[in-house]
Structure 1
Amino acid sequence: MTGAPCLSLHESAVRDRARIYLGIFRELSQSHGEAEAVRVLQSASRAHGLEVGAGLAQFAPRDFKGLLASYFLGPDSATYAPELREITADCVEVQFMACPLKDGWREMGCSDAEVCTLLRCATAFDAALWEAAGFDYELEPWAPGRAGCCRTRVTEKRRS
């Protein structure tokens, strides 16, 4: 069999999600403007992140090894090709070297600017995920010319 590489079911599902995000983004941008399209996609991404993050709350406030094993290196992690950059008693930092969302958008002909905008929408998921899980985090999103995709650093929630 030749042609496109065989994708895992998870990677195929994420690439389908990329196609849906792009279609919704373009439709909303045409009918309501880009700012409203970004707002709606961020809101939807946030809602999804809150759901997923609740399942990670068991690792708060400082079980970074458990978080690494369960989330970053879990069953579907190969889809994102995570590279562990640091794990200590105070944090876990992972660089994702692949992203089916980003890669899908690029294959669909999106410009770098459009990919960055769509990633900004999608990373609302990450903010909500870590909020619901009870951690603080830093996210460095992909930018043109940068290898891989996003870098995430998760730390214990600071007391307010």
Structure 2
Amino acid sequence: MINNKISIKGDPVVDIQRGAIGHRATWTGLTYTKAREAGKAEEAEKFIREAISETGEVQGAAIKSQCKDPQNVTCFAETFLTPNVVKTFEIEFKTKTEDRVDLEFHHCPLLKAWQDLGFDDATCEKLCDIAMDGDRGIAKAMGFEFHLGDTIAKGCSTCQVSFFKNDK
């Protein structure tokens, strides 16, 4: 059972940002489910993943260009995760060093949009993983590794996300 709680309420900027993110999630979710209804789920997933991944790489390149030290994961985190983003997703920093950032997201506005559309838990979990291709693309553009652990869409209490330097 998915429990996508909200504790930060009534912040006008956060509310606007959550609305915009939810609108984007609505487009993606409806695109995928309409394709699935037409028997084209695999094709749609492939195209959506490619587009979201490329979007992440574009965003990652912009973040990298804004970082004073793009090899420093702390600099990346502070550039990518602005105070408004932190409040929007109710992010808790578990680790923040020059080599690694471990985050727990306590709310997901994308997931809320999919839930509001009435999508079942399995569809929400699929769309969540597809959406995470954006973060995977950001990590790739930065030259970092990315790990997705638990997710709210899988019924966990938080989404566990890590960006870290490649040890190779």
Q: Distance in 1 between matches of 2:156 and 2:101?
A: 21
Is residue 108 of structure 2 the alignment partner of residue 99 of structure 1? yes
Q: Please list every run of 5 or more consecutive structure 1 residues that lacks an aligned counterpart in the other structure.
A: none
User: What is the SS of the residue equivalent to 2:38?
Assistant: helix
Partner residue, 2:141: 132
Q: Matches of 1:73 and 1:23 in 2, distance apart?
A: 29
Deviations 1:9-33 (A, max 9, x none): 2111001011111111122223352
Match of 2:26 in 1: 19
Find the aligned partners of 2:131 and 2:78 in 1 and give their Cα distance.
23
Percent of paired sites with the same residue: 21
TM-score (norm 1): 0.85
Q: Would the aligned equivalents of 1:91 and 1:154 in 2 still touch at CA under 8 Å?
A: yes
Aligned residue among 98, 117, 122 for 2:131: 122
CA apart distance, 1:129: 0.8
Q: Secondary structure at the match of 2:154?
A: coil
Q: Which of these residues, 61, 70, 75, is aligned with residue 60 of structure 1?
A: 70
41-50 vs 138-147, greater mean Cα deviation: 138-147
Q: 2:84 is matched with which residue?
A: 75
Letter in 1 for 2:40: G
Hey, what's the Cα distance between the residues in 1 that align with 2:29 and 2:21?
12
Amino acid at match of 1:67: F
Determine whether 1:109 maps to 2:129. Answer: no
Range with bigger deviation, 17-26 or 73-82: 73-82
Match status 1:33 vs 2:43: no
C-alpha distance 108-9 of structure 1, shift in aligned 2 (>3 A): same
Structure 2 gap segments, 5+ residues each:
1-8
Count of residues paired in the alignment: 154
Q: How big is the shift at 1:141?
A: 4.9
Tell me: CA distance 1:118–1:141, structure 2 relative to 1, closer, same or farther (3 Å): farther
Q: Counterparts of 2:143 and 2:154 in 1: how far apart (Å)?
A: 31
Task: Tell me, in whole angstroms, the C-alpha distance in 2 between the residues paired with 1:8 and 1:120.
Answer: 24
- Given that 1:49 and 1:129 are in contact with CA atoms closer than 8 Å, whether structure 2 keeps it comes out as yes
Q: What is the RMSD of the two structures over their aligned residues, measured on CA atoms? A: 2.1
Distance 2:80 2:63 in 1: 8
Q: Is the 8 A contact 1:136 1:158 kept in 2?
A: no
2:95 maps to what in 1? 86
